[in-house]
Amino acid sequence: MTRVFNFSPGPATLPEPVLRQAAEEMLDWQGSGMSVMEMSHRGKQFMGIHAEAEDLLKELMQIPASYQVLFMQGGALGENAIVPMNLIGATGRADYVLTGDWSKKSAQEAKIYGEVNVPVSGDASKFTAVPPQSQWKLDPGASYVHICSNETIGGVQFHWTPETGSVPLVADMSSDILSRPIDVSQYGLIYAGAQKNIGPSGLTIVVVRKDLLGRALPITPSAFNYQIQAAADSMYNTPPTYSIYIAGLVLKHVKAQGGMAAVAERNARKAKLLYDFLDGSSFFRNPIAHQDRSLMNVPFWLKDTALDAAFLHGAEQRGMIQLKGHRSVGGMRASIYNAMPIEGVQALVEYMKEFERQHG
Ligand SMILES: *Cc1c(COP(=O)(O)O)cnc(C)c1O
């Protein structure tokens, strides 16, 4: 068996020990005589798996007791509608900070449910930087302020938390949740599709301050109503059981590796390796403002884009896949989430050096 270094932006690479344990338990989970996939979501066994995953998430992210964790479905794009349906009714309007493709998409979807205002946009810098808070024109009557903490396509990331006063801060953390310690108490709501840093697709994580429950617009589908899901402990309807099980194994793995501080330190080391190389090269480039660079998704371009195909082909031959940039921006992108080992980044940098020597 040969496993590749998978730089996919999502669904993304998972820790090998997690996959091995899942394989071992596939046909018979801990003497139950069945796979987790076959269990009743209301049975004692799955309820235990569910509770353990939730407890681990609370522990790792240090989620205060005043917050509700929800395991939902529909992905982050589903949440682009579900968030406004549940929250925008407070005042009928919300602020959306634009830092790239994903936040623009969130703002677009929210317009269906209320008035959307844009306190600031990274447009002027072609979304190569996060506009500093001094430039934001926040609406004190907004129901919430929405940000995307890490723009997976553009490669910019918030390395600070915005101050929004009494207006709840909502963050799409799909591509950097669990990559570093954060102070949950500074947010009203955090959401993330699981398939970047937590587990398989199908599971969507929502962490919401309990006082924000109960504001849903009457049109909100019951399965997407935070209050109804909270009252049912995320079991109003059948949750994505197998994805929750794998997420639980990943969370256990993260805990065993030393928790968030240790994970953040490793992620910073991996990203530095790649950015240091890019900055020293006149052959590859990354145009993102240094202080706003993503530690999770590193887009880079060759000076001569005619060499892109050769670069990607060579990478694949060396067991490094999914390095093609998003179709909207071209070039290359290395997604180096928690489960990407440093060896993968080292192998990529070695190959980039070799490619530069040959073609530079
Ligand atoms: C991947 C991603 C999405 C899309 O998530 P889905 O689960 O496919 O709906 C949205 N926002 C960000 C920041 C992402 O990285």
Query: Per residue in 300-314, pLDDT tens?
Result: 999 899 999 999 999
211 is catalytic: no
Instruction: Please tell me the distance between residue 343's alpha carbon and the centre of ligand 1 in angstroms.
Output: 26
Catalytic annotation, pick one of 196, 252, 270, 324: 196
pLDDT class of 360 with cuts at 50, 70, 90: confident
Between CA 182 and CA 163 the distance in angstroms is 14
Kind and range of the H or E run holding 82? helix 75-87
pLDDT per residue as tens digits for the range 277-290: 999 999 999 999 99
> Could you tell me if the CB of 193 is within 6 A of ligand 1?
yes
C-alpha of 210 from chain center: 22
* Contacting residues for 136 by C-beta, under 8 A, at least 6 apart: 97, 119, 120, 162
* Of the candidates 286, 264, 283, the residue with the CA atom closest to the CA atom of residue 274: 286
196 is catalytic: yes
What separation in angstroms does the CA of 56 have from each of 229, 251, 318? 20, 6, 36
Which CATH fold would you assign to the domain 259-359? Answer: Aspartate Aminotransferase, domain 1 (3.90.1150)
pTM across the whole model = 0.98
Catalytic annotation, pick one of 29, 95, 172, 324: 172
Between CA 268 and CA 266 the distance in angstroms is 5
* Of the candidates 45, 70, 35, 5, the residue with the CA atom closest to the CA atom of residue 207: 70
Domain 16-256, CATH number (from 3.40.640.10, 3.80.30.20, 3.40.50.300, 3.40.50.2020): 3.40.640.10
The protein residue with its alpha carbon nearest to ligand 1, atom 10, reads 76
Helix 308-317 / helix 342-359 crossing angle, nearest 10 deg: 130
The protein residue with its alpha carbon nearest to ligand 1, atom 5, reads 76
Mean pLDDT of 16-43: 98
pLDDT on residue 1: 81
Kindly report the backbone phi and psi dihedral angles of residue 307, in degrees, each rounded to the nearest multiple of 5, phi listed first.
-90, -5
Domain coordinates in residue numbering, the chain: 16-256, 259-359
Q: Which of 102, 148, 156 to mutate to test the pocket of ligand 1 (most atoms within 8 A of CB)?
A: 102
Between CA 66 and CA 51 the distance in angstroms is 17
pLDDT class of 98 with cuts at 50, 70, 90: very high
Between CA 238 and CA 128 the distance in angstroms is 41
Kindly report the backbone phi and psi dihedral angles of residue 271, in degrees, each rounded to the nearest multiple of 5, phi listed first.
-65, -40
> Could you tell me if the CB of 175 is within 6 A of ligand 1?
yes
Mean pLDDT of 201-208: 98
136 is catalytic: no
